[in-house]
């Protein structure tokens, strides 16, 4: 008696949160970059084995989508390469966000309400029991996201896996924006109960999630660590970096302007460098990253000191090509964050062969290993001493950089995508699948 070969489950990447993010924003933060890189790598490695869908933020319906739509949603060359300003100038990021929103939101809303039921039928025709739906982003903007996923599991007989980047709104609420924290907390408890598998990037994040769920009595699925890649996708042909007046010498800090990232520490360090060594001997400091909850504070502090203002540049919106150029040109990088779930800019710095001075907290030692120098993000004197050593101790920076070039093995997004799919394939086959309901 012949037996039909077992069907290989499809991995469905649910990308609704990416569309919501790019309705407003031109360039990704670390969370969106991770998601886009995994999607690209998984598609290249597995072809038709992976598929893409979107749970509409507006109608709560699933829709199968083409990969090209994801690329189109995340692209935005119409706004140019960067919005760069000295800290004394008024940033234009808000106006660009409004223009982008008005250009994208109405069309998406119209599409969702007009075609939502038809799109959901197309999804139902393609999905099959045993398939795995994977969310790589931040679904907390929809408090009922977990309920929608649970309903989809019952309806279609699918599994659900969620990449959790961190649980900072629980572990460090004083470092989280209140609105985001409240949405995260509401959405997390429901979503975690719908998970059959949880992905994390660090052992620190794994331990934090495990502790949180045990203390709260929440159900917790198996946790699988996947190795995040570093670096960027292949540069777009013809996408040259817009000419920009880079300082002759500068130190780079790549991060959203967020309180927990600790930009204020670097402003204090640079003020003391200028007092001790004079402006001619101190390189510039570049903050490269989108706005966060601390932009106004950082701007006000920098504007208050004319000497400091002349040495600090903020790049609020930058393409991948411009970010690459910044890494290539900088002397070294800094990343004094109070807490992280991973620390992508540290891995990126090492991938470009650049030395980094990094916070010694949370997951960051897992990223930097022994190739970076660690500081206590609450110790100004320690931070100053480390920056001074990299800038002024003869041969120190060259030696540290040479070791990175010789010893660092850059993890790839292909390895990350393959680890994710391999973990999804090991979901317990003996566990009963929910029945499939009609729609």
174-195 pLDDT, tens digit each: 998 888 888 899 899 999 999 9
Same domain for 183 and 261: no
Domain membership of residue 286 (yes or no) is yes
Domain membership of residue 236 (yes or no) is no
Same domain for 421 and 394: no
Domain membership of residue 126 (yes or no) is yes
Same domain for 210 and 126: yes
Q: Give the pLDDT confidence of 103-154 residue by residue, as tens digits.
A: 565 666 656 667 778 888 999 999 999 999 999 988 877 778 999 999 999 9
Q: Which domain, by its residues, includes 130?
A: 11-229+414-425
Same domain for 385 and 269: yes
- In this structure, what are the phi and psi dihedrals at residue 333, rounded to the nearest 5 degrees? -120, 160
pLDDT attached to residue 50:
97
% of the chain exceeding 90 in pLDDT: 61
Which residues are bridge partners to 53 per DSSP?
A: 14, 64
Domain membership of residue 306 (yes or no) is yes
Mean pLDDT confidence for 71-99:
52
Q: Which of 83, 18, 137 is nearest to 290 (CA)?
A: 83
Domain membership of residue 241 (yes or no) is no
Domain membership of residue 430 (yes or no) is no
Same domain for 165 and 29: yes
H/E stretch holding 39 reads helix 30-46
Alpha helices in 229-305 (DSSP H): 263-277, 295-303
Same domain for 31 and 167: yes
Domains held by the chain: number: 2
Mean pLDDT confidence for 411-419:
96
Domain membership of residue 402 (yes or no) is yes
Domain membership of residue 234 (yes or no) is no
Q: What is the CATH number of the domain that holds 263?
A: 3.40.50.2000
What is the Cα–Cα distance from 108 to 364, expressed in whole angstroms? 38
What is the Cα–Cα distance from 86 to 239, expressed in whole angstroms? 25
Averaged pLDDT of the chain:
86
Same domain for 420 and 405: no
Mean pLDDT confidence for 200-205:
98
pTM across the whole model: 0.89
Same domain for 421 and 386: no
Same domain for 97 and 15: yes
Q: Which of 359, 179, 129 is nearest to 266 (CA)?
A: 359
Same domain for 299 and 157: no
Same domain for 418 and 380: no
- Has residue 85 got a pLDDT over 50? no
What is the Cα–Cα distance from 130 to 284, expressed in whole angstroms? 54
**CB neighbours of residue 380 within 10 Å:** 14
pLDDT attached to residue 242:
59
Pairwise pLDDT comparison (108 vs 93), residue with the higher score: 108
Same domain for 52 and 192: yes
Q: Give the pLDDT confidence of 319-361 residue by residue, as tens digits.
A: 888 999 999 999 999 999 999 999 999 999 999 999 999 999 9
């Amino acid at each position: 008696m012949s037996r039909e070969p077992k069907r290989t489950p499809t991995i469905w990447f649910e990308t609704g949160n990416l569309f919501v993010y790019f309705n407003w924003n031109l360039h990704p933060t670390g969370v969106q970059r991770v998601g886009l890189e995994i999607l690209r790598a998984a598609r290249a490695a597995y072809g038709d084995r992976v598929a893409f869908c979107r749970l509409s933020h507006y109608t709560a319906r699933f829709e199968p989508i083409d990969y090209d739509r994801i690329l189109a949603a995340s692209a935005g060359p119409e706004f140019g390469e960067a919005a760069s300003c000295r800290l004394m100038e008024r940033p234009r990021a808000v106006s660009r966000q409004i223009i982008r929103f008005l250009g994208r939101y109405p069309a998406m809303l119209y599409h969702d309400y007009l075609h939502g039921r038809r799109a959901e039928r197309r999804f139902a025709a393609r999905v099959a029991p045993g398939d795995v739906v994977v969310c790589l982003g931040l679904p907390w903007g929809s408090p009922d996201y977990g309920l929608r996923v649970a309903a989809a599991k019952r309806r279609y007989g699918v599994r659900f896996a969620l990449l959790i980047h961190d649980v900072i709104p629980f572990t460090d609420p004083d470092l989280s924006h209140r609105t985001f924290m409240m949405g995260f907390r509401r959405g997390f408890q429901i979503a975690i109960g719908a998970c059959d598998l949880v992905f994390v990037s660090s052992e620190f994040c794994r331990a934090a999630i495990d502790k949180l769920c045990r203390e709260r009595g929440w159900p917790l699925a198996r946790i699988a660590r996947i190795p995040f890649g570093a670096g960027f996708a292949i540069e777009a042909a013809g996408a040259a970096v817009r000419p920009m007046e880079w300082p002759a010498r500068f130190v780079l800090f790549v991060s959203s302007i967020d309180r927990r990232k600790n930009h204020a520490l670097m402003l204090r360090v640079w003020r003391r460098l200028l007092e001790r060594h004079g402006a001619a001997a101190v390189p510039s400091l570049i903050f490269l990253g989108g706005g966060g909850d601390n932009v106004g504070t950082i701007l006000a502090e920098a504007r208050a000191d004319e000497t400091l203002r002349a040495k600090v540049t903020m790049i609020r919106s930058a393409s991948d090509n411009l970010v690459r150029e910044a890494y290539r040109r900088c002397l070294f990088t800094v990343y004094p964050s109070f807490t992280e779930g991973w620390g992508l800019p540290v891995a990126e710095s090492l991938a470009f062969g650049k030395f980094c001075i990094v916070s010694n907290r949370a997951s960051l030692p897992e990223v930097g290993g022994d190739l970076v120098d660690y500081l206590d993000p609450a110790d100004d004197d320690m931070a100053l001493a480390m920056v001074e050593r990299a800038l002024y101790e003869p041969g120190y920076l060259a030696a540290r950089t040479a070791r990175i070039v010789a010893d660092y093995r850059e993890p790839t997004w292909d390895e990350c995508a393959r680890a994710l799919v391999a973990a999804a394939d090991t979901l317990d086959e003996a566990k009963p699948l929910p029945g499939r309901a009609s729609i």
